[in-house]
Structure 1
Amino acid sequence: MRIIGRIPHPLMQISVFATDGRFPVQFELGGQAQIYRFRQSEQLRGLDDLRSLLDDDFLREVLVQFTAMQRMQARLLPGAEADAAADFPEII
């Protein structure tokens, strides 16, 4: 697996990899990560195609998932809840 690029975002680090006919895309925020894997195809050949695919609605949903993940983690570590909440944006 090799990194083929990054997609700029004001809140998350988004890294794009290439491996065995797939493009894993890793989103990182506040010590947590999500990875989505996309198959290479005629419509999806590289970084530019992924930039187009990952629209604002998709990125908003990724942020919603990070918020849910933070809540789950905060239930396990109640004392860390205030610190962790500062890492996440308010999603409306």
Structure 2
Amino acid sequence: MRYLKDIPHPQAKIGLYSWNSKYIIKIEAGPYEQTYKVAEFDVSGPDEVETLLSPLFMERVLLRFQEMDKDWGEAIDAAF
């Protein structure tokens, strides 16, 4: 996997990678990560991939991180 660049965001770490004819977007917040894959032929290049990260999309990604944290907390509570 080849690192291309970081995409600035105030609440998450976003890295853009290229691998196997796909762009891979890794979004990290705390101990959690979400990964999205975009076929290279579906966009004109890395800059267009960045435009896919609209405010609405990122809002939903951040909500999903909250859900992940809640699910993980419940799993830990149930185990102990």
- TM-score, normalised to structure 2, is 0.88
Q: Mapping of 1:1-92 within 5 angstroms?
A: 1-41=1-41, 44-78=43-77
Q: CA deviation at 1:45?
A: 3.1
| Cα distance in 1, alignment partners of residues 16 and 44 from structure 2 | 12
Identity of aligned residues (%): 26
Runs of 4+ with deviation above 6 angstroms: none
Please state which structure has a larger fraction of its residues in strand.
2
Cα distance in 2 between the residues matched to 1:71 and 1:11 = 18
- The structural deviation recorded for 1:68 is 0.6
Whole-angstrom CA distance in 2 between matches of 1:60 and 1:50: 17
* Gaps in structure 2 of 5+ consecutive residues: none
User: Which sits farther off after the overlay, 69-78 or 27-36?
Assistant: 69-78
User: After superposition, what is the alpha-carbon deviation per residue over 1:44-85, rounded to whole angstroms, capped at 9, x for unaligned?
Assistant: 13221111121111111111110110000110224xxxxxxx
Cα RMSD after superposing both structures: 1.2
How many equivalent pairs are there? 77
